[in-house]
């Protein structure tokens, strides 16, 4: 089944417990990541990972061990409760283990959550999830958040907001990425406390754009300029950019590079890329190649998992080390 709009939002908030799986795909890695987190929490609960009811793997790991996805879906958990198998960042070339697991799924198996970049209508992954009687496919695009999504986000933060304040929040939702919007909404909730949120609170918490600085450090990693990464990371940390935001944006960039490498170049990307950014991406695709880009995505997924885990390692240092590793891989 193919879900869109409000129907998709309702599914993410309250999925059918008998769902075989869900494919979440789109060019914006931040949107995909947020929906992935929301769906896993709704399917298996907030303690799924601690209770070992969540199995994570990348598309590259699934491809290297084709039986691993089916084995994970069929496995019997030590703790009672619903289980989820997440296969993150799957490409068409890595789809076969996922398709086999979905085909073999039976009632009582773990739910299969799969994420991917932008997929064409002819995609094998899309066709499999759309045609499966118990699975869904959800495409996420760069459209502004709907009024229903904004209202749900406000309710989740427990914010009491005036009509003017709500209009200000809706304006932020129309201009910010979903991840940045949720961070700002959390800041507004903390700032307001028990008080009603008006337009002044929204104005004070609205961020200055930090996108350019994040793009700069990611470009340094993709271009192999390791020496530039440390100073850029120091500046971004001072501006309040989080490591999770950086890893999501880096994943988005390298997913685009990989898509270009396997689908005929940067010109095949949708939405299209123009100007100096296109020239830089074309050079990076030539320098990296599909195989090393797959390794880069695997490294970024490992970093993402570390940042979201209970690890005590300094998060910004973990992210900086990953970017330096990427810069070395690009030169390798």
Residue 106 CB coordination number (10 Å): 9
Per-residue pLDDT tens digits for 169-190? 887 787 677 777 888 888 888 8
Domain with CATH 3.40.50.300 in the chain: 2-139
Identify the weakest region by mean pLDDT among 46-55, 100-109, 264-273, 287-296.
Answer: 264-273
Class of the CATH-defined domain 147-205? mainly alpha
- In the chain, where does the domain assigned CATH 1.20.272.10 lie? 211-331
| CATH 1.10.8 location in the chain | 147-205
Q: What is the arithmetic mean of pLDDT over 147-157?
A: 83
Per-residue model confidence (pLDDT) at position 332: 61
- Minimum mean pLDDT among 111-120, 137-146, 222-231, 250-259: which range? 137-146
Q: What is the largest CA-CA distance in the chain?
A: 55
Please report, rounded to a whole number, the percentage of residues in the chain having pLDDT higher than 70: 95
Q: What's the pLDDT tens digit per position in 74-107?
A: 998 788 889 999 999 999 999 999 999 999 999 9
For residue 7, CA distances in Å to 102, 140, 150, 323 come to 22, 13, 15, 38
Question: Does pTM top 0.75 for this prediction?
Answer: no
Right CATH for 211-331 from 3.30.2320.50, 1.10.1040.10, 1.20.272.10, 1.10.10.10 = 1.20.272.10
More confident residue, 95 or 10: 95
Mean pLDDT across the chain: 87
- Domain 2-139: assigned CATH number: 3.40.50.300
The pLDDT of residue 312: 79
Residues 6+ apart with CB under 8 A from 230: 320
pLDDT of residue 209: 47
């Amino acid at each position: 089944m193919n879900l869109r709009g409000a129907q998709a939002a309702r599914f993410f908030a309250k999925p059918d417990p008998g769902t075989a799986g869900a494919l979440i795909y789109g060019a914006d890695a931040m949107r995909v990541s947020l929906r992935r987190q929301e769906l896993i929490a709704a399917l298996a609960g907030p303690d799924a990972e601690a209770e070992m009811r969540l199995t994570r793997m990348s598309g590259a790991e699934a491809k290297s061990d084709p039986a691993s996805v089916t084995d994970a879906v069929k496995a019997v958990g030590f703790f009672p409760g619903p289980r989820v198998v997440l296969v993150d960042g799957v490409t068409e070339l890595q789809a076969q283990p996922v398709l086999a697991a979905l085909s073999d799924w039976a009632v009582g198996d773990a739910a299969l959550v799969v994420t991917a970049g932008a997929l064409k209508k002819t995609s094998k992954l899309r066709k499999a999830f759309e045609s499966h009687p118990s699975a869904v496919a959800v495409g996420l695009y760069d459209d502004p958040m709907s009024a229903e999504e904004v209202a749900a986000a406000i309710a989740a933060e427990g914010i009491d907001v005036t009509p003017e304040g709500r209009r200000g929040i809706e304006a932020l939702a129309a201009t910010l990425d979903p991840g940045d919007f949720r961070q700002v909404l959390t800041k507004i909730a903390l700032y307001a406390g028990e008080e009603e949120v008006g337009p002044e609170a929204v104005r004070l918490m609205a961020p200055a754009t930090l996108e350019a600085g994040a793009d700069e450090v990611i470009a340094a990693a993709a271009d192999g300029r390791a020496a530039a990464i440390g100073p850029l990371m120091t500046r971004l940390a001072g501006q309040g950019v989080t490591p999770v935001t950086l890893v999501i944006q880096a994943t988005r960039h390298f997913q685009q590079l990989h898509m270009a490498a396997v689908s005929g170049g940067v010109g095949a990307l949708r939405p299209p890329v123009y100007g100096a950014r296109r020239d830089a991406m074309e050079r990076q695709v030539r320098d990296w190649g599909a195989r090393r880009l797959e390794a880069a995505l695997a490294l970024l997924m490992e970093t993402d998992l570390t940042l979201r885990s209970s690890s005590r390692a300094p998060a910004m240092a973990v992210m900086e080390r990953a970017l330096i590793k990427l810069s070395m891989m690009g030169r390798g």
